[in-house]
Amino acid sequence: MSLFSRKKSLDVLMAQAGDSEKGLKRTLGAGSLIALGIGAIIGAGLFVRTAAAAGEHAGPAVTLSFIVAAIGCAFAGLCYAEFASMIPIAGSAYTYAYATMGELVAWIIGWALILEYALGAATVSIAWSEFLNKLLEQYHLGSIPYEWSHSPFEKALDVNNVMHVGIMNVPALFILLLLSLLLIKGTQESAMVNSVIVIVKVAIVILFIIIGWKYINPANHTPFLIPADAPPALKPDGTFYDYSGLFNHGLYGVLTGAGIVFFAFIGFDAVSTAAQEAKNPRKDMPIGILGSLVVCTILYVLFSWVLTGVAPYTDFVKSGKEASVAYAIETYMKDQLWLAKVVTIAILAGFSSVILVMLMGQSRVFYTMATDGLLPKMFSDLHPKYRTPYKSNMILFLFVGAFAAFVPSKVAGDLTSIGTLFAFILVCVGVWVMRVNDPGRERPFKTPLVPLVPILGMVVCAAMIYGLPKETQLGALGWMAVGLLVYFGYSKANSKLKE
């Protein structure tokens, strides 16, 4: 049996999904799934990556970057919705690939999902740490020393022109531990906490859009695209950022910006990892996936337009990248300082919900891979009382915590984006393959215009991968090489589908 013909039968998957006594508990309805998606989507991507993409690549045209990213997500989201309604089991794109393209492709996509969920949680926990410091400063409670809230690879000059070098990001570790313990306690409890946070942070985003709209300076939106001869911008370490590079201005800058802000859309696919915990997955999964994507896209375009209108994009190279909203309010909306404090509190809570969903998604992917024999059994061990994959959550905390404590957010964030884009491409391929190989299978939700929609999804996502920095692409290739070593060294021999 070849590695590509080692496939999980859809009938076996459906039987596995229906075994509610031994598996994960079904507690989530359509509303909880939409909230889960919004909880994962609105977070560091919006509040941190928007400023990073605008300041370094797209300028005010970061709004176009969001639209490009949303188009790619829409195509992939339609494909996810078909699979999630048809195969209501934990594992997301990994499970879909196993059923359509075989074990080796499934392993590759499962390994790529580690980049998405685990590194995504690490990136957001780093942003959480930055905002915690911002909150302490706003309430005049001091601040956590730079050395203990940044990675060893980061440095910055303070107001006295003294250089500080990071040692370890302690606050990021703290929030990861707290949320890992909540996930071990139970999915329903986690979903309830997430739903409350989602209501608060969506309200704050809308409040910033409404109040910030009247502070927009039209000059900040002109020119809309960064010109090739734009003056260099000052960076935190005292050096200058050059815009003359091909992907640092113009339409190529918009494309690179799309790859960066794409991180802001990561989350709607995390809904699919909860398929085995949905009460009525055939109907509710498409609603949860596509509903959360639509809501967030509208908010993103409006938010990015206001943010780049209130503050010039060059500001985000030196100041405010991590706490961009609070920075814009404190600098250009000085009669609304109360809003900066409210926004910072809401964002801290919002980041917490993103981390929560990312950790949940990763533990469910590990759970499914372990039940297939591709990872050690401990990743699928359920807590005797809470029926959650508690060992997986504990191991995941150690892995994600290492990245959060010692790796800069930009590195982790770009790797997260490329891992997700790769997963999206394979899901689009999988829908097309299954339509050809099993056209008679019941599909509660059908992706329209197949193969056009999957092909467009593949093209747009591949374009965003192309626009990401070359070092990120090489890092992802290195990660995949390690994954193949693990597969051929352990997983292939322990697979439950081995000959």
Residue 71 resides in a domain: yes
Residue 397 resides in a domain: yes
Q: What is the pTM of this model?
A: 0.73
The pLDDT of residue 413 is above 70: no
Q: Which residues of 9-24 are buried (b: 16+ CB within 10 A; e: fewer)?
A: eeeebeebbeeeeebb
d(CA 241, CA 232): 5
Q: How many domains does the chain have?
A: 1
Q: Cite the DSSP H helix spans in 119-241.
A: 119-138, 170-185, 187-213
Residue by residue, DSSP assigns 309-371 as HHS-TTHHHHS-STTHHHHHHHHH-GGGHHHHHHHHHHHHHHHHHHHHHHHHHHHHHHHHHHH
CA 156 to chain centre: 27
Give the range among 9-23, 72-86, 149-163, 309-323 with minimum mean pLDDT. 9-23
Q: What is the pLDDT of residues 192-213, one digit of tens each?
A: 776 777 788 788 888 989 999 9
Contact 264, 56 (CB under 8 A): no
User: Residue 119 sits in which domain range?
Assistant: 25-492
Give the range among 173-182, 261-270, 353-362 with minimum mean pLDDT. 261-270
The mean pLDDT of 244-272, rounded to a whole number, is 78
Contact 336, 327 (CB under 8 A): no
Residue 3 resides in a domain: no
d(CA 29, CA 187): 12
Residue 300: which of 202, 376, 232, 164 has the closest Cα?
202
Residue 487 resides in a domain: yes
The contacts of residue 335 (CB under 8 Å, 6+ apart) are none
Residue 15 resides in a domain: no
Residue 9 resides in a domain: no
Tell me, what's the pLDDT at 276?
65
CATH number for position 330: 1.20.1740.10
Residue 335 resides in a domain: yes
Residue 114 resides in a domain: yes
Q: What is the pLDDT of residues 288-318, one digit of tens each?
A: 888 888 888 899 999 999 999 999 988 888 7
